[in-house]
Structure 1
Amino acid sequence: MTPSDRAPSPPPIVEAHGLSQRVATADGMLDILSEVELAVKAGETLAITGASGSGKSTLLGLLAGLDRPSAGEVLLLGQRLNDLDEDARARLRAGRVGFVFQSFQLLPALTALENILLPLELAPPAATDASPRARAADWLERVGLASRAGHTPRQLSGGEQQRVAIARAFATEPEIVFADEPTGNLDADTGARIIDLLFDLNASARTTLILVTHDDALAARCRRRLHLVAGRIHEASLA
């Protein structure tokens, strides 16, 4: 087989080109990100690390289409986000993108089961005979919280809330999961268990995982690491 006979490599699942973000402050314009170039293949695990204020969470939000850049572009799941309005970006993410946040972001009026059920009801119909409620219950069992299905977030510990959040992120069987400091509000022992759960579920689902963290133990679990210093990529290395 000659090189020309080989099948072309699939495009990255996420790309950033010339990505910059500037905000106005009392002292003038502040550059949060500057000319970031990035490509992530499907199935990769990538840690974005850096000191507080280096632009980690800003970069994650731009890659996920939660915010718009000052300059440059992001391609997510083959779509140029610059060309999409907020509603179109939300439709693109529905069922295809999952999120895990430091502050859990569970809806306080909903039970653990209902928090997982919500994205399943908003996502396009799945190719399965199981109802959304049955799928939500299955994911709650996978994270070891079947007995807490009727509990609201205030009745759960921090670790339990993050387990629900992880189940919610994976329940729609997304192609990519973004995680922003997923162990940041947890003690060391609970955080270690959450790390194991996150990577076990990610490996079984073969999902692309991009996470922001200041935790070296968490970053070391990723195949690839990208380090930011003052909004610029400082180094990218295998973990």
Structure 2
Amino acid sequence: MSQTAALPSSQKARGEVFLSRTKKLGSMSSPALEAIGLSKTIKSGERTLTILDGIELSLNAGDTLSIVGTSGSGKSTLLALLAGLDTPTKGKLALLGREMSDLDEDARAAWRSGQVGFVFQSFQLLSGLSALDNVTLPLELAGADLGEARDTAQRLLEQVGLAHRVKHTPRQLSGGEQQRVALARAFACQPKILFADEPTGNLDGATGAAVIDQLFELNAEQGTTLVLVTHDEDLAARCARRTRLADGQLHEH
């Protein structure tokens, strides 16, 4: 008996739709990201808490999507699921044409490598490396020639206004400068999809606005699919598609 045959009819239908879509690996018509019935629950003592409940989402290449919601609504949890950093309690996810549910953590990381970029609120730079080396590192890990990797890193740092700071370590940079290094690093491998989690959360208004301008400029230049989590309504409005996460469910504006 097939796996879908044993499911209730509604789940079977959804599963068959998902499987038919994910068979088109590498097809130009395949969504960049597709979530079907994603749910996440956690145990709290004897209670089961539902964080996310049946998330449905499909993004095409080049789409820009914002996810807004109150603190504690599950935005970061959802981002982690969509990026394949965490696994759902129920549901399925296809990321860049590859179903994630049958991959372990190492295989998911290998699939993301060179294809998926991240920008975090806390920057996540390596403190012992210069700005140039922080941006060069993902290119090296992807197998790029060191000279070419450093040239690319230099160009990206110049593009975000840090040509004069390439030799400085994160401790020698302001918060805004660190986030611009993080942007350059995120776009270094020309990712097909970029996930940004509250990218201006640790920045003041003017600095945050400048960083976001650079994020959207780089995104438009590379044609990257963008998934942006934020509590900032003005920032969310800059994305072509806007959604709100409330009561564990995603609602499109």
Which residue number in structure 1 is paired with residue 134 of structure 2?
Answer: 115
Q: Distance in 2 between matches of 1:165 and 1:192?
A: 15
- Structure 1, unaligned runs of 5 or more: 1-7
Which residue number in structure 1 is paired with residue 182 of structure 2?
Answer: 165
Which residue number in structure 1 is paired with residue 248 of structure 2?
Answer: 231
The 1:130/1:110 distance shift into structure 2, 3 A limit, reads: closer
- Letter paired with 2:33: V
- Letter paired with 1:153: P
Is the aligned partner of 1:197 residue 2:252?
A: no
Partner of 1:210: helix, strand, or coil? strand
Q: Distance in 1 between matches of 2:161 and 2:69?
A: 32
**How do 1:84-123 residues align onto structure 2 when only pairs under 5 Å count?**
84-123=103-142
Q: Distance in 2 between matches of 1:136 and 1:157?
A: 19
Match of 2:94 among 75, 100, 111: 75
Is the aligned partner of 1:14 residue 2:33?
A: yes
Q: Distance in 1 between matches of 2:107 and 2:160?
A: 31
Cα RMSD, aligned residues only:
1.5
Q: Distance in 1 between matches of 2:116 and 2:28?
A: 22
Which residue number in structure 1 is paired with residue 224 of structure 2?
Answer: 207
Match of 2:48 among 29, 51, 56: 29
Which residue number in structure 2 is paired with residue 41 of structure 1?
Answer: 60
Q: Distance in 1 between matches of 2:122 and 2:215?
A: 16
Q: Distance in 2 between matches of 1:9 and 1:135?
A: 27
- Structure 2, unaligned runs of 5 or more: 1-26
Quote how far apart the aligned CAs of 1:26 are: 3.2
Q: In 2, are the aligned partners of 1:15 and 1:38 still within 8 Å (CA)? A: yes
Which residue number in structure 1 is paired with residue 169 of structure 2?
Answer: 152
Which residue number in structure 2 is paired with residue 54 of structure 1?
Answer: 73
CA shift digits 1:103-162 (9 cap, x unpaired): 001111111111101111112548xx9611111111111111111111111110000000
Partner of 2:119: helix, strand, or coil? strand
Which residue number in structure 2 is paired with residue 140 of structure 1?
Answer: 157
Q: How many residue pairs align between the two structures?
A: 227
Q: In 2, are the aligned partners of 1:95 and 1:124 still within 8 Å (CA)? A: no
Q: Distance in 2 between matches of 1:155 and 1:18?
A: 45
Q: In 2, are the aligned partners of 1:20 and 1:33 still within 8 Å (CA)? A: yes
